[in-house]
Amino acid sequence: MKQNCLTIFLLLLGGFLYAQEVTVKGTVQDAESGEPLIGVNVLMLGGGDSGGAKGTITDFNGDFELQNVPVGTVLQFSYTGFESLTKTVEGDTPMIIEMGTNAEVLEEVVVIGYGTQKKRDVTGAVAIVDSKTIDELKPIKIEQALQGTTPGVNVTQQSGSPGAGLDIRIRGVSTNGQNAPLVIIDGYQGDLNTLNPSDIESITVLKDAQAAVYGTIGANGVILVTTKTGRKNKPPQLSYNTYYGLQETSRTLPLLNATEYALLLNESYAAGGQALPYPNASGLNAGTNWQDEVFDQAPMMSHDVTVSGGSDRVTYSLSGSHLEQQGIVGGNKSSFRRSTARLSLGIDLADNIKLTTNAIYSYVDRDALNENGLGAVLFNALNTPPTQAVFDDAGDFTLVPNTPGLGIEVINPLAQIANTFNDYDLNKLNGQTTLDWTVLEGLTLTGRVGFNTSNSEGRTFNKLISYGGKVFDVTRSSVNQNAINDNNYSIDLYATYERSFGSAHNLTLTGGSTIFREIGNGLFATGFDVPNNAWNFADIALALGTSPDGGRDVGSYAYDERRLSYFGRAQYDFDGKYLLSAMLRRDASTKFGPENRVGIFPSFTAGWVLSDEDFFNPVGKVDLAKLRVSYGILGNDQIVNNGYIGTLSGEATYVFDGALVNGTAIGALPNPELQWEEAEKFNAGIDLALFDYKINITADYFINTRDNLLISNIPVSGITGTSAPGAASPTVNAGSVRNQGLEFSIGYQQRYDNELKVNFNYNFTTLRNEVLEVNNGTGFIEGGAFGVGQLAPSRMEVGQPIGYFFGYQTDGIFQNAAEVEAHPSQIALGAEAQPGDLRFVDINGDGVIDADDRTNLGDPIPDFTMGLNLGFEYKRLDFRAYIFSSIGNDMVRNYERALSDVNRLDYYLDRWTGEGTSTEVPRVTTAATSNLVFSDFYVEDASFVRLQNVQLGYTLPLSFLRNDLSTLRLYVSANNLLTLTQYRGFDPAASSGAPIGGGIDYGFYPIPRIFMFGANLNL
């Protein structure tokens, strides 16, 4: 009986002790300095009785307190930059928690393609942008987060209009064809256009031979995107982010007002021997400022919400977002809307089998205006005379006169906006499912299926309208519609084997295959005579009119391309000091003929961790010093389909029964020997970490040589029919380009007295681009356009940068007749020179100024780019600033119409008006001159420094809500706040993206300056 009583007593006592709850107090401090740590997350693992998370954060003195904590509970302490640790609650005795610095550079895992690797062991040139940087920059499109944060990566916007495309160039322009990098999203081939930036966990950029594991699609570099997932043993966490922004133009150009314009025009007409158009210009005042008329403030807003969490076997993340942006030109006529939904799910089917899947749905709706070209809205706003009113007395838009001085292209830009009707809608679903099976210790088999499917519809309405005899007059209403279906899928099957031998040898082997297929089709149709001449009735089903030749205008295409790849990679390290990696990939692509369908791409990388050698680092002040080298061959198959076979895409006229009949004929002549472009990449680099990883330095020197570039329009005999409509000369592998340069980045982060944290990151890239071969008979390829009817202003030529500007070099202005008489004749340029005209240099010294005197006038490729990112946190206040600079890039000023009566920039106020008055700006006249030919007068230095983003935020604790870890951060931000440049145009950074013809400014839609207010809520 006594024994039973004792047993019952002990059980009751044990239950009491087990159920005992205490108040836990303590202090968290830096193990090295003893300073208290503010903002450390203290979380009860397992949560409270409700199953939710229970925790807190340390205050300004590093102290924390948790009430009603059961004895035996495990507390987790986590803090950025420090090693996480756990502590078991044994009672109410105050805790002293010491946290050691986390050597993040050693343990951070980097995605490298078909696997991961510790950053310490990476031997290639790799750059990473994390979710924190993305969140701070608040990019509308994720590509914008790479600008200035990643050395060697240059991002240019084709336009500042909402939803406009961006071009990414990794280590320069390497080909006259497709330069865009490969994008891999969670292991499958995708694109960045429709991703919500808030869904991205990290972006890894492979810049050298490390990308050879992707073979024929990795020559332009590889961008690896990892999206956010849930975490195991975490209760549901809610994140909501929103901002509202107001946009305005970042720049207006200094144009002449009405009075200045009239006086200048009078002078021009007088010089041409014509009557003055404005005999009384004094009463015109300022007139119409067309830039003020077309530019307006425009709103934008964004919302995204994410719910994530996980148990011991399942993780999940569910998110949705919506973005709306109106244009600073045209309002809702130039707008962008994007909605996304994403699901990420991870399931441990067994201890050795893991299933992960994610799916992303995106909807895009974009309306656009005519931009960046002859007749674009801004082109018209810059050239329409300020003496013209917006509306006439009847309230209708005024008509720009159809005169020789104003031509047939310049129209009222507000009328153009009002009569623009178009719509583009895209629905896209992409995702992947991956199964990882650990067959035995160290051996994992992986199978992955990735897919992209998109359907888009476009519609453009051409309203019946007259602009007074202009080329934009529409004499018969019409509607153009298209429906495009693009699909691709990939199947990856590979194995990874990891094994350690002894105490110092580590080996990882990866091998497998990839199947990739892309299929799609498009349908285009035009209908005439839209009912009621209205956008609401602009549909192909209602527009029943036929084209002038009596038929319905329809067209279509279809494609089906496939690629089969095998790859292998071996990674070895000895004692963590000597690192080797070798890769081999074999690709077979249907884009090439049978004789050149297969390509083999080898590469290797090596590294030496010097800091682990006693002779190098005996004192231990250097945390990491690693030398890296890589070399490899990669390919590029991003070419036109069916280039190796003949297609019936040409036109011809045949005689049947004595009558002429239109029919089809062979298009471009085929080249059965067509093959891949090959990229030979060499890289040597060093990584340094100093002073307990507070300073991190990376430097790389690279040489990238691209061979077998595809050159089109090779001269052949005209008897082959290459001059017929739709026909063309063959495309051959006959070009080569080399890029070489230096990348450098340095980062510093330090926490002072527990209240102030400072970080600083700086990077720069130098680049030298040179064309090595253009074997097409002429030795060069032309591109781009300047003015109307002039010679092409851009070239690809041996010994020059790709896409350099080719024109006449000036040598001041003729001041008097004697100087004109002493100079070689310029009559071949269209008119004999007169005092006040531009004086061109006789480059070849033959005594005549003609087309043979054209020379290199500059190029659009920057010699030097750099990024500077600054940040500090003081208590709950945070500040960030991102700066980007581009030095040495030139741009062509082509937004000024070469007509006598158009408006001009105010630099013409400093024109030549007599001997000695100007040596830079020529005279004005209505008479013929050679001042309008393409020369360095129109080429400007477009170097710039831009304050991309500045942000100020404050974080409020919300411990009264769900738990002590809940926070609300409020912030204000400004994007593109300031740009310093001497370039006269709207945006020195804009470009069409064309390798030959880029950097020509037709009146780029400026990137808007955006002021935002936002909130980040975490529960």
The model's pLDDT over 367-390, given as tens digits with 9 standing for 90+, comes to 999 887 788 899 999 999 999 999
pLDDT band at 52; cut points 50, 70, 90:
very low
Task: Identify which has the larger pLDDT, 683 or 830.
Answer: 683
Q: What is the mean pLDDT of the chain?
A: 88
Supply the pLDDT for residue 9. Answer: 44
**Cα–Cα distances in Å, from 980 out to 108, 250, 286, 889, 987?**
37, 11, 28, 14, 11
Question: Residue 326: its pLDDT value, please?
Answer: 95
Residue pair 476/529 in contact by the 8 Å Cβ criterion = yes
What pLDDT shows up at residue 4?
52
Q: What confidence score (pLDDT) does residue 719 get?
A: 66
Measuring CA to CA, which residue among 947, 907, 861 is closest to residue 250? 947
Q: What is the residue type of 67?
A: Q
Residue 1004 φ/ψ, nearest 5 degrees? -60, 135
Name the band, by pLDDT with cuts 50, 70 and 90, for residue 633.
Answer: very high
Task: For residue 776, list its beta bridge partners.
Answer: none
Instruction: Answer yes or no: is pLDDT of 619 > 70.
Output: no
Would you state the pLDDT for residue 105?
Answer: 45
- Sign, CA dihedral 99-104-107-108, equals positive
Print the SS3 string covering 967-1017: EEEEEEEEEEEEEEECCCCCCCCCCCCCCCCCCEECCCCCCEEEEEEEEEE
What band does 961 get if pLDDT is binned at 50, 70 and 90? low
Average pLDDT over residues 549-563: 83
Compute the average pLDDT of residues 716-742.
81
Rounded average pLDDT over 691-720: 85
Considering only 655-664, 843-852, 974-983, which range has the smallest mean pLDDT?
655-664
Q: What is the average per-residue pLDDT within 120-126?
A: 89
Q: What is the pLDDT of residue 964?
A: 58
How far, in Å, are 24, 325, 579, 802, 819 from residue 991 at the CA level? 60, 21, 41, 15, 39
Beta carbons of 75 and 54 less than 8 angstroms apart: no
How buried is 218 (Cβ within 10 angstroms: 0-12 exposed, 13-18 middle, 19+ buried)? Answer: buried
User: How far apart are alpha carbons 145 and 874 in whole angstroms?
Assistant: 25
Over the stretch 53-69, which tens digit does the pLDDT of each residue have? 577 888 777 888 888 88
Percent of the chain with pLDDT over 90: 60
CA–CA gap between residue 14 and residue 783 (Å, rounded): 86
Q: What is the pLDDT of residue 960?
A: 62
pLDDT at 898: 86
The least confident of 472-481, 596-605, 708-717 is 708-717
| Dihedral of alpha carbons 957, 961, 966, 971, sign | negative
* pLDDT at residue 733 in the model: 86
Q: How confident is residue 11, by pLDDT bands cut at 50, 70 and 90?
A: very low
Amino acid at 58: T
Q: Which residues are within 8 A (CB) of 615 and not within 5 positions of it... i.e. 6 or more apart?
A: none
Quick one: average pLDDT of 843-860?
A: 95
Residue 18 pLDDT grade (very low, low, confident, very high; cuts 50, 70, 90): very low
Confidence category of residue 549, pLDDT binned at 50, 70, 90: low
The pLDDT score that the predictor gives to residue 15 is 44
Query: Which are the contacts of 532, defined by CB distance < 8 A and separation ≥ 6?
Result: none
At residue 453, φ and ψ (nearest 5 deg) are -140, 130
pLDDT of the residue at 102? 63
Rounded-to-integer distance, Cα 635 and Cα 674, Å = 13
Would the pLDDT of 725 be above 80? no
What domains appear along the chain, each with residue ranges and CATH number?
Answer: 2-102 (2.60.40.1120)
User: How far apart, in whole angstroms, are the C-alpha atoms of residue 182 and residue 223?
Assistant: 6
Q: Is pLDDT larger for residue 668 or for residue 979?
A: 979
Residues 6+ apart with CB under 8 A from 63: 25, 26, 27, 36
Question: Using one digit for the tens of pLDDT, what is the confidence trace for 877-904?
Answer: 999 999 999 999 999 999 988 889 999 9
User: Does residue 224 register a pLDDT over 50?
Assistant: yes
**740 within 8 A of 208, measured Cβ to Cβ:** no
Greater pLDDT, 255 or 715:
255
pLDDT at site 12 = 43
pLDDT at 636: 84
Residue 48: predicted pLDDT? 44
